[in-house]
Amino acid sequence: MSTTPVPVTTTTASPWLRIRAVARRHAYVLQRAPQRWFDVVVWPVVDAVLFGAIGVYFSRQSGVGDRGVGFLLAGILLFHVVFQAEVSLATGFMEETWSRNLLNLLVTPLREVEYVAGVVLFGLAKLAFSITVVSTVAFGLFAFNVSDIGLALIPIIAILLVVGWAVGLIVIGLILRVGQGAEILAWGLLAMLMPLSGIFYPVSALPGILQPIGKVLPLTHLFDAARSVLDGDGLPWDELGIAAAGSVVLAIAAAWFVVRMLATFRSRGYISRHM
């Protein structure tokens, strides 16, 4: 029997190794699970076609020209940034529960933050692919060019990613706490925020009772900022600042929440639900 020494790197030196391993694990899953492409490509394309067509129809009816189409397509395209960021993180974690891999991971040197970084890393790759496809569809079918938003697109997308990851962490925390019953929130939580965040319309279009809720959501201010840029009014830094501050507060709250839920998970022995 050979006892050739196997090179082992130290745990402090190998976070990147572990982050890459997590990202690669999820790449294998996507490669072998065609149904996962629905979240990545099919739904975003369906939404782009649907909202683009609605925009064209109402623009013709009201005679406002292409502005309506641009608002709707920019709204759905940017919404898919936050949605993909959130769904990638949440379903990445859910994959571990579905395949009963959680205990295998929890006994390795993998740190929680490294796991999240690995899933986020692969999520970014998926997001880049998804947004490229949807942007191409929007441009090809409706002559909408998302790059018309210009450099303002960079901070807008950065804030959308932070919000998406924060909501993903909240979903993971809820799954850790209550189990698989919370899985629907991976898709449902953002769907609930969608109408309140004024993705396609200013928050003033909401019923009066819902407007205060909409105004405290960072996404509302972000989509207002995007519409302002599309209108040619320049980037409203105050709206962007409110959105950025709100997203940071949300991210801190989400990180605190998931850490607390993980402590509860360990303390109450909820791993038994996944063994």
Partner 1 sequence: MRVAAVCDTHSMPSAPDVLRARGLVKKYKRIQAVDGLDLTVGAGERVALLGPNGAGKTTTLLMLLGVVSPDAGSVEIKGHHLPRHRSEAAAHVGFAAGYLPLPERLRVGEFLRLFGQLYGLSDPKPAVELGLNRFGVAHLADAMGNELSSGQRTLIGIVKATMHRPSLLVLDEPTASLDPDVALRVRTGLNRLCADEGTALLVTSHNMIEVERMCERVVFISSGRVVADGRPAEVAARFGRDDLEGVFLHLAEEREGA
What minimum distance in Å lies between the beta carbon of 208 and partner 1?
A: 46
Complex with partner 1: residue 11 or 62, whichever CB lies closer: 11
CA distances for 32 relative to 28, 35, 58, 133, 247, angstroms: 6, 9, 41, 20, 34
Helix (H, G, I), strand (E, B) or coil at 232: coil
Name the nearest CA neighbour of 87 among 170, 168, 6. 168
184-223 footprint of partner 1 as x/- string (CB under 8 A): ----------------------------------------
Name the nearest CA neighbour of 75 among 248, 220, 236, 241. 220
What minimum distance in Å lies between the beta carbon of 35 and partner 1?
A: 11
* Chain residues 9-68 in contact with partner 1, contact rule CB under 8 A: 9-14, 17-18, 20-22, 24-25, 28-29, 31-33
What minimum distance in Å lies between the beta carbon of 260 and partner 1?
A: 13
Complex with partner 1: residue 2 or 147, whichever CB lies closer: 2
Applying CB under 8 A, what is the total number of residues that bind partner 1?
47
210 and 197 Cβ atoms separated by less than 8 Å: no
Tell me the HSE value of 174 on the side-chain side, using a 13 A CA sphere.
Answer: 18
Complex with partner 1: residue 32 or 209, whichever CB lies closer: 32
Q: What's phi and psi for 5, nearest 5 deg?
A: -60, 140
Angle at 210 between CA 205 and CA 212, to 5 degrees: 100
What minimum distance in Å lies between the beta carbon of 56 and partner 1?
A: 40
* Chain residues 65-124 in contact with partner 1, contact rule CB under 8 A: 96, 98-101, 103-111
249-268 footprint of partner 1 as x/- string (CB under 8 A): --------------x--xxx
Name the nearest CA neighbour of 87 among 8, 3, 233, 186. 186
Helix (H, G, I), strand (E, B) or coil at 10: coil
- For partner 1, the binding residues (CB under 8 A) are 1-14, 17-18, 20-22, 24-25, 28-29, 31-33, 96, 98-101, 103-111, 263, 266-269, 271, 275
